[in-house]
Structure 1
Amino acid sequence: MKQFFLTMGGVFAGLFLFLIVVPFILISIAISSATSREPAPAHTVLELDLREGLTDQTPTNPFAIFGGGGLSTMQIVDTLAQAEDDSRVKALLIRLPEAGVTPAAADEIRQAIRRFRRSGKVVIAHSQGFQPVGTTVSSYMIGASASELWMQNTASFQLTGFSADAIFLRRAFDKFGVEAEFEQRYEYKNAVNEYTQSDFTPAHREAMTAWMTSIYDSALANAAQDRKTTLPALKATIEAGPYSSGQALQRRLIDKIGHVEEAENEIKRRAGRGAEIMDFHDYAASQGERTGSGSDAIAIVGGEGAIMTGRGGGADPFGSGSAIMSDDTAEAIYDAIEDKSVKAIVFRVSSPGGSPEASEQILAAVRAAKAAGKPVVVSMGDYAASGGYWISSEASWIVAQPSTLTGSIGVFGGKFVLADALGRFGVDMRNLTVGGEYSDAFSPSSSFTPAQRAAFAAQIDRTYEEFVARVSTGRRLPPARVREIARGRVWTGAQAHRIGLVDQLGGLEEALAKAKQLARIDADANVRLKRYPQPKSPFEALSRMFGVSGEAAQVLVGIGGVMNDPAAEATVRRIQTDRARASGASVLAEQPY
């Protein structure tokens, strides 16, 4: 009886979702799409608000818009490239955040703004202050690339440098009886230090200071170039702050003081009679993605977030969070290989790392593309570190921004032992094990035995050597040289370029140009841009959502049958198969559809 009511509850839940919620969501999307595709006025000023936060790439989930979040760096680059050639777009107004922007994203956006200005169009950036928080220097760099940089009269220019804080938990763990047992390869692989140390180790301090200095100096050098001054002069002025808006104007750190409404009126005046401000989101939606033209195509394969085995990516169906799922990403590369019109692949990577097994699966697809005669150019985003560098290491060419965090050629792993900590609160943890001695190696109830520790350390060593081998092969460096520059150290793109881990500094546009060159396509020839993986349709995304309930899935199968829609039934059965695999079931073949 209980099972009957559970089944009926699932059926009614499925019917409610399918007949009420789904139509509401689809209608909302249709209305949103229709309203966002209004044509741009004859004299348009685009307003780009960077205060909303940025991802590197636009999510492929159609429902991510309901989870909030702003634009993506790639969407901004793409849209500004189209706006350059759009005679209706006369100017750009940028709202700067008071805190920082991810440094590599700031590099990419600055380059897009400079290209937009070279088309003869004016750019005004407006700031309500530069606060001493994070990489504010990157926000200022974007502002400096504009035709004019404005500040509100009451705002403060508090940018005087770049600082970062780290939290170390070693003393707290000791106090509460938590044991952090980790292996790291090697001294610069500092992700575990927050658990095992109470302060920066010399290697941690050295590496972190080096990449922070690289980002700071690079941003100020770019700002100095755009402000038509020298790096030493700009650095001396900034570091002598903070300043009021009036003092910042006097020292030529900004161009004008005014409220955002005044900046809007000024840029509309410059754009011409009857100019109107159009939200950047709306213009981007009206234009769609840049597709290009021509018989030859270049594939753009996207990958953002932690690297994990499997498929799907993200537990929240309405969230904008991303992950690089190995099945999906490898499949996207193989799809590009099979497309005869695709002559080269640009692989956009923005990842802090992840699973070695997932990374190797993706790297195998990169190798397959090269073997098929299709060059692979990696364009690094905010990060391409650890596993992010693993999947990039054997590309035909690597392009990174000066501030991209990359390298981290190393590996770590371990566990927390919690039995003593829980015991202090009257909670007893006990373990039962069947099998060999290594079976309970990762049990949080006890420390590694000497044999377990040795076996685990040997596994970490093997993974490290495999990583070194991939980098040695891909970068054509002797293994000894790779070990020398690896040791888990994070480099900026500028540093990585000097030591041979990166081929070229730049962004997506530079990567596309190099892909054309490697594919022997004339530099001036038009090419189509084909993006992989393809964005999910609303039905595909909803199908994944229904997959959480077997009863609801059965309702969809029934509805598919009533509607005589084999595609709907096939979709649900595929979901059921995938869910079974994800739960550990051994599914040897799909059901025939």
Structure 2
Amino acid sequence: MFVWHTICTGLKYIGKTLNLIRIIFLNIVFFFCLFLLIGLSSSENIPQSGVLILDIEGVLVDTTNVDQDFYELSKKLSGNKFDPSRENSLFELTKKIDQATSDNAIKGIILKLDKFNGGSLPSLEYLAKHLKQFKAAGKPIYAYGSKFNQKQYYLASLADKIYLSNIGSVEIFGFAANNFYFKSLLDNLKVNTYVYRVGTYKSAVEPYIRDDMSEEAKLNTRRWLMPMWKNYLSDISQQRDIPNDMLAPDSDTFLERLKMVSGNLAEYALENKIIDSIKTNSEFEQEMKAFFNTNDSVSIYDYQLQTNEQQIIDGQSTMNHKPEIAIVFVNGTIVKGDSTNDTAGSETIAQQIKKLTNNSNIRAVVLRINSPGGSVDGSEEIRSELAALREKDIPVVVSMGGLAASGGYWIATESDYIYASSNTITGSIGIFGILPNFENSLSSIGVHTDGVATSPLASLSVTKAPSEQFNQLMQMTINNGYDMFISLVSQSRNMNYEAVDKIAQGQVWLGEQAKENGLVDEIGDIDNAVLKAATLAGITDYTIYWQKQDINYFNAMLNNYSAILPKSLTQILYNELPMVKEVKQRMTLLENLNDPQNRYIYCLNCAEVN
């Protein structure tokens, strides 16, 4: 026993020593990068005039917890390597475009979108809205690409003229919403998954209990995917002034037309007015220099935003005393605890709302939701804090982004008005419980669990199958949770219980459909939500506070270390293959099974549209 104790003690101290060395090393790297960043930023003098290059790299998100300076530092340290996972704040970009609209030093915009990995259709619509305002001010927009995917082309279609590489293509083939299914994987790992659910269409758990999409899920997905594709084509058709059948003909017609130009996709795009000109990059740049009569250009990342927006620290203003409208973000899977890059932590968001409640300058709140839901307990924690806010006569207006479903809709019920985009995915009013069990996995390697308990309800363990009594308990709590969800919606939307139940059952709706069903009040974006909040608060002269989560600079560097350090195979797969990132998203629920009652309101089958 003494020898074993000595060995354990030695291993413990070795572990602590290695951990201390790791922390010291990472802190050295951190401060080296920080000083380098300060040196690089102070030594550069980037022109702020000429042509604004909208060269977005990565994806559009509502808000990001990673400081943009670290992305720039990462690029410098990695030799300007492309980082497809880079996140770009939609609202920071639109602020810069708005500034450029009235900036006499900016003559126009050039869209270079080869490194743009897209975003939700509502995000693209909002960015397009601000680009249209730029054009309305009499400033031209041009686009160049070596290849346009559908999301890139949505923005490019706003340009006065679209240029394409002589070996390029424009791929407008249609939308697809695919999911990953893990039943066979879990079976191979001998993991038993116990599922408790309510709702005919509640397909969020299907990835864990099936190897394919159920007919009910397919029916529901078609119901929102087809109108979204129609909306996409309508926008581009209007922007390019070409009919839908020329923009995206049926497959046979497309192949026949492509055959007429010997399979040359660039020529096909030109012949069908999808683009305006075929040029090499060098030829395009020479034409732009001649057109704008300048060699000066500035990347959207280097274009400095001039702002006098106030800061709010601990819920109190540090500048003027104008009434304020606060923007609160719920971005990602809702979990109990603190927010991370991938999750919306209920404690973090509830604390942010509580600070606003205690700030006498806050007159209204806009809740921006981009979430598939998650924990019932976490969602309720956020909703109850919003209720406390409204009890102080502070109106709450919801602005739904690309996705506000299940738990995202649960928290939206605590509001005075709800806006959604016509292409917002919402609804999914249903609930489920999920318990993974590893009894067979462990027994296959010779590990078994046994013991005694005072009742069948006292012996729950991930290493033992739940008792029949526990199964009954779980199903009753799930039924109760569904009843609570329906009641919340019924009270919030002034609808009877039966009417809500009819459009619930886990069904997913697109924005226009949700409006018709009474789940949202109006189709609009975050600008509409801010104006509505001001109206409800009775104010006309106000300041907008875009609330941000405090950035941990050390963690921010570690979260983006892949662009600084040599890439392992795993990092390459994650950064280069979108499907691997999608797998990670699909597994997020299992990674965050932290609801106290194991109940979840989550729309995992609200698939990413490609």
TM-score by length of 1: 0.79
Partner of 1:532: 547
Aligned pair 1:255/2:272, yes or no? no
Partner of 2:122: 104
Partner of 1:295: 322
Alpha-carbon shift at residue 482 of structure 1 (Å): 1.3
Aligned pair 1:188/2:201, yes or no? yes
Partner of 2:267: 246
Q: Separation in 2 of the partners of 1:31 and 1:212?
A: 49
RMSD of the alignment, in Å?
3.4
Aligned pair 1:86/2:65, yes or no? no
Q: Secondary structure at the match of 1:53?
A: strand
Aligned pair 1:74/2:82, yes or no? no
Q: Secondary structure at the match of 2:110?
A: strand
Q: Within 5 A, what are the aligned runs for 1:382-531?
A: 382-420=402-440, 423=443, 425-432=444-451, 434-441=453-460, 443-446=462-465, 448-522=466-540, 525=541, 527-531=542-546
Partner of 1:379: 399
Partner of 2:571: none
Pair 1:120–1:415, CA change in 2 (3 A): same
Contact 1:48 1:279 in 2 (8 A): yes
Which residue identity does 2:170 align to in structure 1?
Answer: F
**Unaligned stretches of 5+ residues in structure 2:** 1-8, 75-82, 259-264, 312-319, 560-593, 597-610
Contact 1:106 1:139 in 2 (8 A): no
Contact 1:159 1:238 in 2 (8 A): no
Contact 2:109 2:142 in 1 (8 A): yes
Comparing 217-226 and 187-196, the one that deviates more: 187-196
Which residue identity does 1:532 align to in structure 2?
Answer: Q
Number of residue pairs matched? 524
Which residue identity does 1:196 align to in structure 2?
Answer: I
Pair 1:475–1:245, CA change in 2 (3 A): same
Partner of 2:168: 155
Q: Deviations over 1:63-106 (max 9, x none)?
A: 86377614222222222222222222221122235875432222
Q: Separation in 2 of the partners of 1:536 and 1:384?
A: 25
Pair 1:259–1:405, CA change in 2 (3 A): farther
Which residue identity does 2:212 align to in structure 1?
Answer: D
Q: Deviations over 1:402-433 (max 9, x none)?
A: 2222111111122234433555x544442446
Pair 1:267–1:503, CA change in 2 (3 A): farther
**Unaligned stretches of 5+ residues in structure 1:** 315-320, 545-581, 585-593
Q: Separation in 1 of the partners of 2:70 and 2:342?
A: 10
Which residue identity does 2:102 align to in structure 1?
Answer: D
Which residue identity does 1:46 align to in structure 2?
Answer: L
Pair 1:362–1:75, CA change in 2 (3 A): same
Q: Separation in 1 of the partners of 2:327 and 2:182?
A: 41
Q: Deviations over 1:235-292 (max 9, x none)?
A: 447883265121211111222222344444444444x333422111111x54469669
Aligned pair 1:342/2:342, yes or no? no
Pair 1:17–1:303, CA change in 2 (3 A): same
Q: Separation in 1 of the partners of 2:113 and 2:357?
A: 40
Pair 1:13–1:207, CA change in 2 (3 A): closer
Which residue identity does 1:495 align to in structure 2?
Answer: Q
Which residue identity does 1:352 align to in structure 2?
Answer: P
Pair 1:465–1:267, CA change in 2 (3 A): farther
Partner of 2:608: none
Aligned pair 1:323/2:343, yes or no? yes
Which residue identity does 1:500 align to in structure 2?
Answer: G
Pair 1:227–1:11, CA change in 2 (3 A): closer
Comparing 69-78 and 94-103, the one that deviates more: 94-103
Which residue identity does 1:42 align to in structure 2?
Answer: S
Pair 1:209–1:12, CA change in 2 (3 A): closer
Q: Separation in 1 of the partners of 2:119 and 2:350?
A: 30
Alpha-carbon shift at residue 356 of structure 1 (Å): 1.1
Q: Deviations over 1:330-361 (max 9, x none)?
A: 12122223322222111111111111111111
Q: Deviations over 1:299-348 (max 9, x none)?
A: 1112211111222x33xxxxxx2321112211212222332222211111
Contact 1:42 1:275 in 2 (8 A): no
Q: Within 5 A, what are the aligned runs for 1:161-180?
A: 161-170=174-183, 177-180=190-193
Pair 1:397–1:178, CA change in 2 (3 A): same
Alpha-carbon shift at residue 477 of structure 1 (Å): 1.8
Partner of 2:586: none
Identity %: 26
Q: Within 5 A, what are the aligned runs for 1:206-221?
A: 206-221=219-234
Q: Within 5 A, what are the aligned runs for 1:125-136?
A: 125-130=143-148, 136=150
Q: Within 5 A, what are the aligned runs for 1:219-234?
A: 219-231=232-244, 234=247
Q: Secondary structure at the match of 1:254?
A: coil
Contact 2:49 2:297 in 1 (8 A): no
TM-score by length of 2: 0.77
Alpha-carbon shift at residue 211 of structure 1 (Å): 1.6
Partner of 1:310: 337
Q: Secondary structure at the match of 2:502?
A: helix
Alpha-carbon shift at residue 458 of structure 1 (Å): 0.7
Partner of 1:41: 48
Q: Separation in 2 of the partners of 1:112 and 1:35?
A: 32
Which residue identity does 2:254 align to in structure 1?
Answer: G
Pair 1:63–1:254, CA change in 2 (3 A): closer
Pair 1:380–1:239, CA change in 2 (3 A): farther
Q: Separation in 2 of the partners of 1:130 and 1:22?
A: 37
